[in-house]
Amino acid sequence: MPAYRKASIRELTQAAARLDGRFVQGVLRKDSDSGTWMIGNTSLDEWVRRDDGEEVTVILMSMEEGRPLEKRTCRTCGREYIGYECSHCREIRYRLRGR
C-alpha cells in the first residue's frame, strides 16, 4: 500500500481523537464461535454499544487498499498535495494557533 494512504488514514484517526471520537484498528474478521464481527480482539457489538441511541458516523477504511491517492490542488494556497488536507496550510494553521 502506498505510504501516503496509510499516513492519511492515521491523520484522519488523529483528527477523530482530537474531536473526542473513538477508533479501533486491526484485522476485520467474523468470529466463528460467536458469529460477531471483530476488529483485532474488539467486538464491534460491544464497541458501538457505548453510543447506542446517538447519531454517529462510522468510517471503515482498508489499510491494505492498493489504489493510490489522487493529487489535489489546495483551494487556499494553490499547491498540490496528497492526503485529506494540504500539509502546507495545516502547518501554517498550527503555527498561527500556537500548537
Q: Provide block-wise average pLDDT over 10 residues at a time, the chain (99 residues).
A: 70 84 89 90 90 88 73 92 85 84
Q: What is the pLDDT of residue 74?
A: 93
pTM above 0.85, yes or no: no
Sequence-distant (6+) residues with CB within 8 A of 17 are: 23
Q: Which amino acid is at 98?
A: G
Q: What is the pLDDT of residue 29?
A: 92
8 A C-beta contact, residue 73 and residue 79: yes
Q: What is the pLDDT of residue 70?
A: 81
Q: Return d(Cα 47, Cα 43) in angstroms, integer.
A: 6
In 3-state terms, what secondary structure has residue 65?
A: coil
In 3-state terms, what secondary structure has residue 38?
A: strand
Q: What is the pLDDT of residue 38?
A: 93
Q: What is the pLDDT of residue 4?
A: 65
